[in-house]
Amino acid sequence: MLTKNLTDSKHNFFITHGNNYPDYQSFILSIVESQVIPRLLKVERIKKSKLSLTPAARALPTQKEIELFVDLCISKDQKVSQAFVDHFLKTGWRKEDILLELIAPAARYLGSQWDDDRMDFSQVNLGFVRLHAITNAFRFASKESLSVQGKVNRVIIATAPGSLHMLGATIVADFFRQKGWQVEVAISSSSNELVQTVSSEWFDVIGLSISIEQQLTNLADLIRQFKSSSLNPRAAILLGGPIFTAKKFRAMDFGADGICVDAKHAVSLAASLLPLEQIQTDRVASKLQCL
């Protein structure tokens, strides 16, 4: 039925508009938004609603929906992946939900497809570019609404040397900004560059994103360098990234203060690790803003 509707609609479109490609591209996008995406999601929601008490509009994306989203991200038309996200927003999802429950799993799925040789480099790279674009659109949309008063906590979110992309670090950075932190995102080709950065600037928290198991080899040594060289001798050091969701590790094994499971957890853990006097100052500032 869906195929027949698309075929009939396409036929009617060409009768009206001829072979005008820009108009046809917009037409296809409107069909995807109004028919394809809602029907695909409806089928999954119906299946899921029989097993869950969670309202359909707020149910977590299924694995099939995540895979569909990835397919749209690597398609030729960059607008269809954004249309997919817009559909979730219209059904009541917050941007925070999209980042944690759709974009982050999609990034992990892209990585697994690369590891299993199911996608080539150009496909994976295109997928990450599209995910970055959607994430950046969220960040720019909310940037104007941020207002910070009083003492600002500073955090650096860095990817370990050898990382191929920064999507996870970008998402974590946005969550910190939403909570009023001043954020620096760093990608370095060597450990020396990262050590130089934390030794020349004051950071309350140092966050390090680890992508692959090979990056764990020299991690403890890198953290020792952070602690001995940091301009802030009490800076908390947090670890995160795909490797820590795939396997269980202890922060103390590397000399770090904590391991984060997602962006929201990173912000709350960082806040809890601030010096006591800083936490008290932040609470006072928060109360003053409410007066």
Our count of domains for the chain comes to: 2
In a domain? residue 149: no
| Residues 193, 135 share a domain | no
| Residues 286, 159 share a domain | yes
Last residue of a domain, one of 98, 115, 143: 143
How far is 273 from 271, CA to CA, in rounded Å? 5
| Residues 204, 159 share a domain | yes
**pTM, two decimal places:** 0.55
Does residue 63 or residue 138 have the better pLDDT? 63
How far is 230 from 203, CA to CA, in rounded Å? 8
| Residues 233, 121 share a domain | no
Last residue of a domain, one of 143, 162, 178: 143
Does residue 277 or residue 89 have the better pLDDT? 89
Please state which of the ranges 12-21, 115-124, 136-145 shows the lowest mean pLDDT. 12-21
Work out the pLDDT band at 139, boundaries 50, 70, 90.
low
Angle value at C-alpha 247, between 220 and 253, nearest 5 degrees: 25
SS3 10: helix
Mean pLDDT of the chain: 75
Within 8 A by CB and 6+ apart from 10, the residues are 27
How far is 142 from 280, CA to CA, in rounded Å? 27
How far is 205 from 260, CA to CA, in rounded Å? 13
Q: Which of 168, 196, 20 is nearest to 108 (CA)?
A: 168
Q: Is the distance from CB of 37 to CB of 91 less than 8 angstroms?
A: no
Please state which of the ranges 58-62, 115-119, 154-158, 249-253 shows the lowest mean pLDDT. 58-62
Q: Is the distance from CB of 187 to CB of 161 less than 8 angstroms?
A: no
Query: Which class for 117: exposed (0-12), middle (13-18), buried (19 or more C-beta within 10 A)?
Result: exposed
pLDDT in tens, 216-271: 999 999 999 999 999 998 999 999 988 888 788 999 999 999 999 888 899 999 99
In a domain? residue 7: no
Asked if the model's pLDDT at residue 277 lies above 80, the reply is no
Q: What is the mean pLDDT of residues 142-164?
A: 68
Boundaries of domain holding 286: 154-290
| Residues 159, 279 share a domain | yes
| Residues 58, 105 share a domain | yes
| Residues 286, 160 share a domain | yes
How many CB atoms lie under 10 A from the CB of residue 84? 24
DSSP string across 127-185: HHHHHHHHHHHHHHHHHTT----SSPPEEEEEEPTT-S--HHHHHHHHHHHHTT-EEEE
In a domain? residue 259: yes
How far is 255 from 262, CA to CA, in rounded Å? 20
pLDDT at residue 227, rounded to an integer:
93
Q: What is the mean pLDDT of residues 75-89?
A: 86
| Residues 172, 126 share a domain | no
For 168, the token pair is 């996870």
Work out the pLDDT band at 185, boundaries 50, 70, 90.
confident
Q: Helix, strand, coil proportions of the chain in percent (round to 5)?
A: 65, 10, 30
In a domain? residue 251: yes
In a domain? residue 226: yes
Helix axes 63-73, 79-90, angle to 10 degrees: 140
In a domain? residue 5: no
